[in-house]
Structure 1
């Protein structure tokens, strides 16, 4: 892919990253609320949650963010290809 087309995709990739963060945060809050009955995941420095809860919450956040980020980035790349006829990854 030419340098110009790579540059054209950069804003799409950045917006995808921000969108993925927002979407994954909302999903994590819903999942954690259903699982633990709390609105927010526990922070590592909170004493009122066990070590296992804190690590589980972090693993959940990481997994959901990775899956959401991949899905949003893939959709962005598909949209870019539809708009330009060029796949941004190759």
Structure 2
């Protein structure tokens, strides 16, 4: 196993947890800007319309994907600086 891949394993685990927390916080703030009130709807919120539930899911997915990609890419760049090779 490559040294860069071995070095990146624990970094990747930590970055995954951090990216989840960042994405969750970003989604909460974004949803408050979109709706201006309360928490984002859950798929099982009976009183919420389909449009609102699907919009919340799409926004949450987009934010999570962007944050995850940015955090993983940053972690890979740091790993390359430390080990000299890109983690693959």
TM-score, with structure 1 as normaliser = 0.90
* Partner Cα separation in structure 2 for residue 54 and residue 33 of structure 1: 14
**Structure 1: runs of 5 or more not aligned:** none
Unaligned 5+ segments in structure 2 are none
For CA contacts below 8 A with separation 6 or more, give which structure has more relative contact order.
2
CA contact (8 A) 1:29 1:39 kept: no
Residue 6 of structure 1 and its aligned partner are, at CA, apart by 1.7
| TM-score normalised by L of structure 2 | 0.92
Aligned length, in residue pairs: 88
In structure 1, what is the equivalent of residue 44 of structure 2? 45
Report the CA distance between 1:7 and its aligned residue. Answer: 2.1
Q: Give the 3 Å change call, closer, same or farther, for CA 39–73 of structure 1 in structure 2.
A: farther
* 2:61 match: 62
Superposed CA RMSD in Å reads 1.3
Measured in 2, the distance between the counterparts of 1:43 and 1:81 equals 40
Structure 1 stretches of at least 4 aligned residues deviating more than 2 Å after TM superposition: none
